[in-house]
A and B are shown apart, each in its own frame.
Chain A
Amino acid sequence: MLDFPTICFFVNLLVIQALVLPLYYAIRVSKWQQALLAITGMVSLGVITPRLLVFYVPFWLFVALLHRVTCWCRGTRIARVVFVLSLVALLVPLVAWKLLPVHFVNLFNLLTHHFLWTYCRPLGVIDSIKDYLLPLGLSFATFRALDLLIQTYVDAIPRQTISRILAYGFFAPVQIVGPLVEFRELGDSGNAARRFRLDEFVSGAGLVFIGLTKVYVLAFPLRSSREIFTYADVNPTLTVWLHLILFTWYFYLNFAGFTDIAVGAARLFGYRVQGNFNRPYFRSNIQLFWANWHMSLTRWAQRNVFVPVGGYRKRTQTRAIFATMMTIALWHDISIPLALFGLIHATALYANRLWQDHPAAKRKAPSRFNTIAAACATQLFVTLTFPLLALPMEAIPMFYGRLIGLEYAG
Chain B
Amino acid sequence: MLDKLNHRLKSLFTQSGVGVACTWVSVLRIAVWVGVFMVIGQHWLSQKLTATTTTRADRFFDMQLPFGDPMVFRSGPAASGDMRLAWISGSDAQVLPLDKGDFDLLPLRVRRAMPPEQRRIDILGYVLESQRITESLHCVRNALANDADFVVLSIHPYWSFDVRTPLVRNYMVASAIASNWSYPRTLLPLLFVSEPRDWVRAIFTPSFLALQIQPEFNELLTGQLDQVFAINRTKGRLARKLHEHRLVYYPSRHAYTYWILSGVYERYTKYLPAWMISYASHRDAAKMTNAPYNELMLNSIITALTHSNAAAFLYITPLSDTELAKPGISELVARRAKYLEDRVKSLDINHRIDVLGEFPDTWRDELKFLINRDGQEDYAHLADREHVGDATGQLPNFMAHRILKKLADVRKRHAN
Show the binding face of A for B, using Cβ within 8 Å.
Answer: 1-2, 8, 11-12, 15-16, 47-48, 101-103, 105-106, 109-110, 113, 122, 125-126, 128-132, 199, 202-203, 206-207, 210, 213, 217, 220-221, 223-225, 227-235, 239, 242-243, 246, 260, 263, 267, 272, 274-275, 278-279, 391-392, 394-395, 398-399, 408-410
Q: CB-CB < 8 A to A267: which residues of B?
A: 16
On whether the beta carbons of A132 and B255 are closer than 8 Å, the reply is: yes
Q: Choose from B166, B229, B273 the contact partner of A243 (Cβ within 8 Å).
A: B229
Interface of B is mostly: helix
- The docked-state distance in angstroms from the alpha carbon of A15 to that of B196 is 6
B2 at the interface (CB under 8 A from A): no
Closest to B294 in A: A129
Interface string of B338-352 (1 = CB under 8 A from A): 000000000000000
Question: Besides A102-B251, A231-B239, A275-B19, 9 other CB < 8 A contacts?
Answer: A11-B196, A132-B255, A234-B238, A234-B239, A267-B16, A275-B16, A395-B241, A395-B242, A398-B241
On whether the beta carbons of A12 and B197 are closer than 8 Å, the reply is: yes
Identify which of B49-57, B219-227, B374-382 touches chain A: B219-227
B291 at the interface (CB under 8 A from A): yes
On whether the beta carbons of A206 and B12 are closer than 8 Å, the reply is: yes
Q: CB-CB < 8 A to B271: which residues of A?
A: 102
B279 at the interface (CB under 8 A from A): yes
- The docked-state distance in angstroms from the alpha carbon of A267 to that of B13 is 12
Interface string of B238-256 (1 = CB under 8 A from A): 1101100100110111111
B18 at the interface (CB under 8 A from A): yes
Q: CB-CB < 8 A to A234: which residues of B?
A: 232-236, 238-239
Closest to B255 in A: A106
A334 to chain B, nearest CB (A): 15
B22 at the interface (CB under 8 A from A): yes
Closest to B194 in A: A47
Q: Choose from B226, B232, B293 the contact partner of A125 (Cβ within 8 Å).
A: B293
B318 to chain A, nearest CB (A): 26
B276 at the interface (CB under 8 A from A): yes
Q: CB-CB < 8 A to A227: which residues of B?
A: 231, 233
- The docked-state distance in angstroms from the alpha carbon of A231 to that of B167 is 32
- The docked-state distance in angstroms from the alpha carbon of A106 to that of B260 is 11
Q: CB-CB < 8 A to B233: which residues of A?
A: 227, 230-231, 234
Q: Which 5 A-B pairs have the closest CB atoms?
A: A15-B196, A234-B236, A275-B18, A11-B197, A203-B12
A206 to chain B, nearest CB (A): 6
B163 at the interface (CB under 8 A from A): yes
Interface size class of chain B, counting residues whose CB lies under 8 Å from the partner chain: 35 or more
A236 to chain B, nearest CB (A): 8
Taking each of B241, B249, B271, B279, which has the highest tally of chain A beta carbons within 10 Å of its own beta carbon?
B241
* 9 A-B contacts (beta carbon < 8 Å): A11-B200, A47-B196, A102-B272, A129-B164, A220-B218, A227-B231, A233-B238, A392-B241, A392-B245
On whether the beta carbons of A131 and B170 are closer than 8 Å, the reply is: yes
Interface string of B260-277 (1 = CB under 8 A from A): 000000000001110010
Given A106-B273, A129-B293, A399-B238, CB of A224 within 8 Å of CB of B196: no
- The docked-state distance in angstroms from the alpha carbon of A269 to that of B167 is 35
On whether the beta carbons of B252 and A105 are closer than 8 Å, the reply is: yes
Interface string of B15-59 (1 = CB under 8 A from A): 111111010000000100110000000000000000000000000
Given A129-B166, A206-B12, A246-B229, CB of A398 within 8 Å of CB of B197: no
Closest to B22 in A: A206
Within 8 A of A (CB), among B201-228: 218, 221-222, 225-226
Q: CB-CB < 8 A to B164: which residues of A?
A: 128-129
On whether the beta carbons of A106 and B221 are closer than 8 Å, the reply is: no
B415 at the interface (CB under 8 A from A): no
- The docked-state distance in angstroms from the alpha carbon of A75 to that of B234 is 64
On whether the beta carbons of B238 and A203 are closer than 8 Å, the reply is: no
Q: CB-CB < 8 A to A202: which residues of B?
A: 8-9, 12
Q: CB-CB < 8 A to B291: which residues of A?
A: 125, 128
Closest to A267 in B: B16
Within 8 A of A (CB), among B179-213: 192-197, 199-200
Given A8-B197, A207-B20, A395-B245, CB of A231 within 8 Å of CB of B222: no
